[in-house]
Each structure stands twice: as C-alpha cells, then as structure tokens.
Structure 1
Amino acid sequence: MNVRRSAAVLAATVVIGTATPAVAASPSPTPSLPSGLYGSSDPTYDGVWRQSLALIALHRVHAEPAAAAVGWLAGQQCASGAFPAFRANPAKACDAKVMVDTNSTAAAAQALSAAGGHGTAVTKAVSWLRSVQNEDGGWGYTPGGASDANSTSVVIGALKASGDDPAKTLKGGRSPYDALLKLSLPCADGGAFAYQPDKKGKLRANADATAAAVVAARGTGLSTARAATKGETTCADAPHLSPARAAANGASFLAGAVAKGGYLKSVLPGAEDQPDYGNTADAVVALAVQGGPGAAREPLAWLERNSAKWAEQNGPAAYAQLILAAEAGGADPSDFGGTDLVERLTATGPAPVAASSQDDSGTSVWWVVGAGLAAGAGIGFLLSTRNKRKRP
C-alpha cells in the first residue's frame, strides 16, 4: 500500500507508451480539484485510493470526516457498483472508457463502510467485486486480469468490512484464501508471498505483496486490522498450508527483512539502500496483526524517527499509512516522532467534524492502550496509492 500506482496501471502505462507515436503528445491538464478531495496533487491515478485511505485512517482514530469528503468518494461510484481511480465528472454516467478496478473499488467499500450510512453503495461495490472474481478464487487489478496477492488482499478486506465471509466467497469452488496460498513461498525461499508468478511461472518474494497478504490471511483489512495480543512470526512448512500458517510465514519474512536497519528497502533500480517508507508502514501493520505490537517495535521506531519528510512530500495517503501503522501498534498518531499525523492529514482536505482521542467513557484511548502494553509487552516504540507496483 505504498504511495505508488498499481502494478497493473504501471504495466498498462508502459504498454500504452510503447504504442504511441515518436512525437510525444502534450500532457493532459491536471484536473481541477474538488473541495471534498484530500491532497493537492493530480488525482487521475490515485484519487479514490488516497481518499479511501484518508477516511479509513480518520475512522481508526475516531475522527468524523467532513460530509463533503465522504460524499466525494461516494460520488465516484459507477452504476455497476465499481469505482475507477478517478473521474473528473461524476455527473456523467460511466461508460466503457471509464477504467474501473478492483483496488479502488475494494478500498472505497472499506472506507464507506467505516464512514457509515452508505450500506447500499458498499453492497453494490462488493457485488461487483464478486462478479469479477477469478476461477482461482482471487482478483487481478482489472476485471479478468490474472490474480495477484495485492488485489486479492484488498478485496478480502472489503468482504470483511461488508460482513461477508471470504472463506465462503467462492468461484470455481475456490476462495480468495486459496488464491493467496498459491502465491505463498516455502520457508526455504523465505516464506514470503509473491505478487504473481513471473513469466516462467516462478514465485519470487515480494515484500509489498507479503505485507498485504499477511493482513488478509489473518482475515482482516485496512479498516478492520487490529494488533494481535501475541502471535507466531516464525516460518514452518506444512503439508496442508492454512491461511494462518501462511500469515506466520509471511510475517517471519518481513521480520527478517527489517531486522538489519529497521526498514524495508526500495527495489527500484539503483536504489538498493534507499528506504521504502510506505512498504515499511505496511510491514508494521502486518507484523502487529500477526505477532502483536512487540513484533513491529523496531520498524515502527524507525518510522517515527525518519518518515516526517517523506509524508510531507507524499501527502494524504502517506499520512494515512503512518496513522494505520501507529494505531495498529499502540503508538499515538497525534505525537508520532513529534508530528501530529491526524492534524497533518486533515490539513490536506476538508476539516473533520470531530477529532478526539477520547472513547465513549471519556477515557483517553492512548492511555488505555499504553496501560495495556505496560502490563504486557512494555511501553516503547511500538507498532500497507495505493498505488501498487509489481515487485520483482
């Protein structure tokens, strides 16, 4: 869930680019930004995704978003129930030229479910997702595309948020978990998940896909993920691999990947030692969901020390990812390495109706979390545009 475009979108861009004439066309003008949208950058490829992450993050910290923000997201939905990455004119009905995708649709379903009051929209979105499920039980980024771990995982999150059981969401007798397990590597290869098989059918470890798949294999998603009290983060092969075993194996891979420096490295060519902040935030959530806050202590501490500039440069989706990481591990999003992540997020869009660190009883949520951790693992640094990019 890093702040990047989906692998499928990037692949499509490459294909389109190679088919264009030698004389490059003038770039399209940046769409005018509606007042309800978070962020000031061009939303063409990530508008629905970043809006969804922002709304989910606000929900997780008990902040009620502005009606305009929720309304903008709801207005992006097509009559079919699907969502595109962005459409500049929601008043115009979707046609074949509007590219809808599973990631935007599943993220929006989770955000609208969290916001409440949009049950019909959520039901329509999930119905559309069911209609484009692949025979292996999974989903690709676009309808009919080969299943990948990231897309299948975000759809599992939407199913859970809507009250559906992913294990009973079958196509060809296979569930989304069956599709994920096919992408799980044995412990000899690290226990990670692959994004998709490569051109030769080989599975290659992919940290981005692994972080998403661990959360999904635990039966949760962006809007519902909660840290485990404790859990296993060691790798062990099994004759009949279960989602729970695959999640533990994936967490083991992530733990090893962040053990040296506290962060995941970028896989961009020539950037071997460059941190990938978004993937590290996603890994924090995955480690906390599988192994508890203690399992994600080091990468969360690294993010607290180092992520401020990255988030400022990347905007609402980045702040949302950090909020989700902090919340999953019991850290305080209002004081994350000295930064109030919630304040920074809300400053990129319409102000929320209310933002409070109090629960219904008036007791500070963060005090309760801290007290619980003190009794268990101790207090300290504690623990997904979406724009998905295929990892080698």
Structure 2
Amino acid sequence: MNVRRRSSAAALAAIAVIGAAAAPAVAADPSSSPSASAPAKSGSTGLYGTADPQYDGVWRQSLALLAQDTVGVVPSPKAVDWLTGQQCDSGAFAPFRADPAKACDAKTMVDTNSTAAAVQALWAVGGRGDVVDSALKWLKSVQNEDGGWGYTPGGPSDANSTSVVIGALSATETDPEKVVKDGKSPYDALLTFALPCAEDEGAGAFAFQPDKDGKLLANADATAAGVLGALGKGLVTEAGTKSAAATCADAKKPTREQAAANGAAHLAAVVAEKGHLTSALGGSADQPDYGNTADAVVALAAQGGADKAAKPLAWLEKNAATWAAQSGPAAYAQLIFAAHATGTDPRAFGGTDLVAALNATGPGPQGGKVSDSATTGDEDGAKENDEKDDSGFGVWWFVGVCLVFGIGVGFLLSGRNRKRQP
C-alpha cells in the first residue's frame, strides 16, 4: 500500500502533519525507514528494530511476527506482549504509544492500517483471541458508508487501507462480503479505485484515491494492494492457481476477480522492462522501489501463479539485501512474504538468510524452525507457545499513504485461516 510500508520517518511525519491519507506507509514502506538490524534497545523491550518507532512501531512489529510465524518460527513472548500492549481500550492500534500504561484519548492517532496488521499478526501467532476480537469490532465500527476504510477513522476510503482491512477480515475467517455498511461491502469500495482498461495510462491499475478533480491515477503500491484485496488475501498468501498471463478486460462492471487480473496485468507490464518498480520523492530521480516490488511479487504470484512473479523476484534476490539490512524488520518481512508466495527458500534468498536476519533485529524467538545463524536465546522464551486450535471465535498499507508523497508500504496478507484460542 502506499505506505504500507516503506516510508521514511520524515515523509511519515509530513503526512501526519497534513492529515491527508496518512498511512504510515506500509505501503510506503515503513520498512523504508532506516532501521538497524541490531536488537539493542528495541530488542530489550520486545520491539523489533532500533529506529524510532513513532510512525511504524506497530506496523513493523506486526510484519515481523507474521513473517516469523509464516516460516515456522515461534516468536518471543516478549515481542508478542509488546504488540498487544499497544492496543487501546477501544480495540484500535496507533502506530506507536510511548506509554502503553496511559489510556488512549481523543489525541491518540489510531489508524486502520496499524490495527489491521496487528490483527493478522496476533491471529497468526495465536493465544490473543480477545485482542483480535476487540480490534475487529473497532474496524467494523469505523467502516465508511461506501463499504471501505480510510487510514484514519472517518477519513475518505482508499485502496490501500480497504485492502489491508480485507486482509484482516479474511485472515480471521470473516467473509468481507458480509461486512457491510449501508448495503456496501469492502469489495464494492475497492472496485471504485480500479481504472478501466480503456485508459491510455494506467489501464487496469488501482488508484490510491481520486485526485482533487475526482480523477483516478494509477499507483503501483495501491495496485499491488488492490490485487490482493480483490482476491480476498492478506499480507501472507501462497501462489494462486497457475494461469495464462493476465490481460486487462473491461466489463460493464468487472468482478473482483477480473479487477485483480487487470491489476496484475498492469503490474506485469510495469516490471517487464527492468524487473522492478520505481519511485521518486521530492523531485529526485527515479529510484528502485524495493518494498513495492516485493508487494508486486506477492500480488502477481497470488493472482496467476509463482511464474508470473519470476522476473521481479529474481531482481529482489539479486539486489534487495542491502536495502533490507538498512531498512530493518519490516523489509525483511516483506521479502519473506515474497519468498513464501513464490515457494522460494527465505533462508537462501539470493545468498541471504532472511529468517536469521529478521530474528536478529529483536528478541530471540522461542524456537521452531530457526536457521543456525539466527538468534535463538531469550530468557523469556522458555514458555510454551500459546496453543493454536480450531476452537476459537470466527470473525491491510499498514498504512495507506498520501499519493502526493508517493510512499508505498508493502501489503501482504495472511492466508492463514486458523482460529485461535485466547
């Protein structure tokens, strides 16, 4: 999503100030914020990464836990407790609360992206059913009349935020089509951001939001998020059924499956030349967009099979290690999601052990399938992991970010449909 996930702290701060579609950039790439790999102070508190968590703490923590669960690693209880401790009494999550003991008030900037990401992570690791249930109730309570969600409660719906919430609903076995407001479902809202195939530019893509003139402008981050959202997928998903290359096909009103295919066709065309997406901030020259490229890999694989993501995946394997090391936990998680969606070994991703690198950014995991080079020691990790079973209740741009800032945060959605017992 446009924030989802890779925006710098400065860009996120600017977004927060203008109050536009503020989304700590999951899509923008909260992972883009500089974040050292050493656990240092963060690891001692349970938080992954050492960068200032003000704008992406919950987002990056959620992605880290979700990525560990995806590869069979049992996270440290300390890390899970850090995330649950960030929740407000309303059920919502803010990007970061410096003093969790202090009750949330009207000034606490809660948002849908942080909340939806936390839902997916806590559902995956299990044992936090009450926290998940409360967060889902809050998300439903702030659904807009068009069926979608904006970054902040009551803000205009956007493709990234609507998609990450769809991911949270699907991950917790809640049918998004049945979560309606004034007769509109999240899918109804999402399809309003899809560009028709007849467009001269951006045919088949998704826009983040209409611009000030009501025009839809293609946005790669929103497109990756929109494809996953239209498919009803979360931050983590496996490859879809292998199919022919997606093509853009208009209909009077395309189904969500066709809208996903249209979006995939757009992404495939964009990465066809260089193998990656690009972004430019502040008038600077175009730069490779690692986070959104990882999101595109997940979206392409989910829509048409792993082979459809082969080119951007190969580019990431060759070029993304330095970016991830500089960006921190969320970046490693995004690459793990891309590897998972394509059936690639995350422990040998272009010569990098993504799992070991992620584990090293925070408190050592309890156990599970951890590579030899990973950090495994944690004095709090001796307890057994909370039991996961099917007896629990049934019920994503971390952040949608301002199109103006061009920040994208990688979406990725949890395809784990397992009920968890609190």
Give the alignment's TM-score, normalised by structure 1: 0.86
Number of the residue aligned with 2:49: 39
User: What's the CA shift for 1:387?
Assistant: 5.3
Number of the residue aligned with 1:13: 17
Q: What SS class does the counterpart of residue 188 from structure 1 fall into?
A: coil
Paired with 1:170 and 1:334, the residues of 2 have a C-alpha distance of 41
Which of 212, 216, 225 is residue 212 of structure 1 equivalent to?
225
Structure 2: unaligned runs, 5 residues or longer: 21-40, 372-395, 405-422
The answer as to whether partners of 2:94 and 2:109 remain within 8 angstroms in 1 is: yes
Paired with 2:297 and 2:321, the residues of 1 have a C-alpha distance of 16
Residue type of the alignment partner of 2:242:
K
Paired with 1:297 and 1:40, the residues of 2 have a C-alpha distance of 33
Which of 206, 224, 234 is residue 221 of structure 1 equivalent to?
234
User: What's the CA shift for 1:12?
Assistant: 3.1
Q: Classify 1:344/1:387 alpha carbon distance in 2 versus 1 (closer, same or farther; 3 Å).
A: farther
1:111 aligns with 2:121: yes
Of structures 1 and 2, the one scoring higher in RCO (CA 8 A, sep 6+) is: 2
1:334 aligns with 2:338: no
* Greater helix fraction, Structure 1 or Structure 2: 1
User: What's the CA shift for 1:112?
Assistant: 0.4
**Could you give the per-residue CA deviations for residues 257-306 of structure 1, whole angstroms, max 9, x where no partner exists?**
10000000113244443100000000000000001100000000000000
Q: Classify 1:311/1:387 alpha carbon distance in 2 versus 1 (closer, same or farther; 3 Å).
A: farther
The answer as to whether partners of 1:46 and 1:385 remain within 8 angstroms in 2 is: no
Paired with 1:134 and 1:389, the residues of 2 have a C-alpha distance of 18
186-195 vs 250-259, which deviates more? Answer: 186-195
Structure 1: unaligned runs, 5 residues or longer: 17-31, 359-383
**Larger Cα Rg: Structure 1 or Structure 2?**
1
- What is the 5 A alignment of 1:1-392? 1-4=4-7, 10-14=14-18, 33=42, 35-189=45-199, 190-223=203-236, 225-231=237-243, 233-356=246-369, 386=398, 388-391=400-403
Number of the residue aligned with 1:19: none
Residue type of the alignment partner of 2:67:
A
333-342 vs 92-101, which deviates more? Answer: 92-101
Question: Aligned-pair RMSD on alpha carbons?
Answer: 2.0
**Could you give the per-residue CA deviations for residues 235-259 of structure 1, whole angstroms, max 9, x where no partner exists?**
1001121110000000000000100
Q: Classify 1:174/1:387 alpha carbon distance in 2 versus 1 (closer, same or farther; 3 Å).
A: closer
Paired with 1:216 and 1:308, the residues of 2 have a C-alpha distance of 28
Give the alignment's TM-score, normalised by structure 2: 0.80
The answer as to whether partners of 1:185 and 1:191 remain within 8 angstroms in 2 is: yes
Number of the residue aligned with 2:38: none
Q: What SS class does the counterpart of residue 127 from structure 2 fall into?
A: coil
Q: Classify 1:126/1:240 alpha carbon distance in 2 versus 1 (closer, same or farther; 3 Å).
A: same
Paired with 2:127 and 2:310, the residues of 1 have a C-alpha distance of 36
Paired with 1:177 and 1:15, the residues of 2 have a C-alpha distance of 25
- Aligned length in residues: 351
Q: Classify 1:42/1:8 alpha carbon distance in 2 versus 1 (closer, same or farther; 3 Å).
A: closer
**Could you give the per-residue CA deviations for residues 73-110 of structure 1, whole angstroms, max 9, x where no partner exists?**
01111111000100011111111121100000000000
Paired with 1:389 and 1:143, the residues of 2 have a C-alpha distance of 14
Paired with 2:252 and 2:399, the residues of 1 have a C-alpha distance of 35
**Could you give the per-residue CA deviations for residues 190-226 of structure 1, whole angstroms, max 9, x where no partner exists?**
1000000000000000000000110111111014x22
The answer as to whether partners of 2:113 and 2:397 remain within 8 angstroms in 1 is: no
The answer as to whether partners of 2:161 and 2:399 remain within 8 angstroms in 1 is: no
Percent identity reads 62
**Could you give the per-residue CA deviations for residues 95-141 of structure 1, whole angstroms, max 9, x where no partner exists?**
11211000000000000000101111111101000000000000000
Paired with 1:292 and 1:121, the residues of 2 have a C-alpha distance of 34
Q: What SS class does the counterpart of residue 6 from structure 2 fall into?
A: coil
The answer as to whether partners of 1:81 and 1:127 remain within 8 angstroms in 2 is: yes
Q: Classify 1:141/1:177 alpha carbon distance in 2 versus 1 (closer, same or farther; 3 Å).
A: same
**Could you give the per-residue CA deviations for residues 25-84 of structure 1, whole angstroms, max 9, x where no partner exists?**
xxxxxxx74520000000011000000000111111111100000111011111110001
User: What's the CA shift for 1:155?
Assistant: 0.3
